Amino acid sequence: MARYWVLLTLMFVFATSLVYAGEITVDPGSPAYHNARFGFSLSWTPGTYTVFEADNGDGITVTDGKGLTMQAYAALEPRVGDVSREDFFAKADSMPKAAYRRVNKEQGWYAVSYEENGKIIYTKQFYHEDHWPTLHFEYPKSMKNLYNGLVNMAVSTFKPF
């Protein structure tokens, strides 16, 4: 019987460690992140957040339990290397429902924002030949005023190279 409880306890500990394996701690007074794999960094407004880092080091997902999801990541994908710089920027121009669109070809990025299913979606993406550093937000439209400061700070501090 004791073996059963030891085995059950070990299985619980193992399963729990899988769920929380990617959770990282950030300073709630000055939350920031630097990605060592792709060299990007950003910071955002103080608060209580849950931050998960991808096991492969691609980036993070930040949530606040109120409706915000922020992702900062890059990835090495074959499709990235197959897309020309012109096609990358055409992607931003092809989004007809965008409420906000800004393209900066000199600095190599675009930003697009739109509403979908009661949520605000905002993405800023940088072009690089083998990866695209990306900052992505989703949050309820009704909470726009709550998240404006966080989004503005994260976007202005997102440094991808």
CATH topology (fold) of 23-157: Protein Transport Mog1p; Chain A (3.40.1000)
Tens-place pLDDT, residues 104-146: 999 999 999 999 999 999 999 998 878 889 999 999 999 999 9
- For position 120, what pLDDT does the model report? 96
Going from the C-alpha of 34 to that of each of 42, 70, 161, the distances in angstroms are 7, 15, 11
Kindly report the backbone phi and psi dihedral angles of residue 36, in degrees, each rounded to the nearest multiple of 5, phi listed first.
-70, -30
- For position 78, what pLDDT does the model report? 54
d(CA 5, CA 138): 43
For 103, residues 6+ apart whose C-beta sits below 8 A from its C-beta are 89, 92, 93, 109, 110
Extents of the domains making up the chain? 23-157
pTM of the model: 0.81
Please say whether the beta carbons of 134 and 74 come within 8 A: yes
d(CA 118, CA 69): 14
Of 74, 130, 76, 123, which is closest to residue 103 (Cα–Cα)? 123
In this prediction, residues 14-20 reach a mean pLDDT of 36
- pLDDT at residue 52 tops 80: yes
- Per-residue pLDDT band at 13 (split at 50, 70, 90): very low
Tens-place pLDDT, residues 62-106: 999 999 999 999 977 656 667 788 888 887 777 768 889 999 999
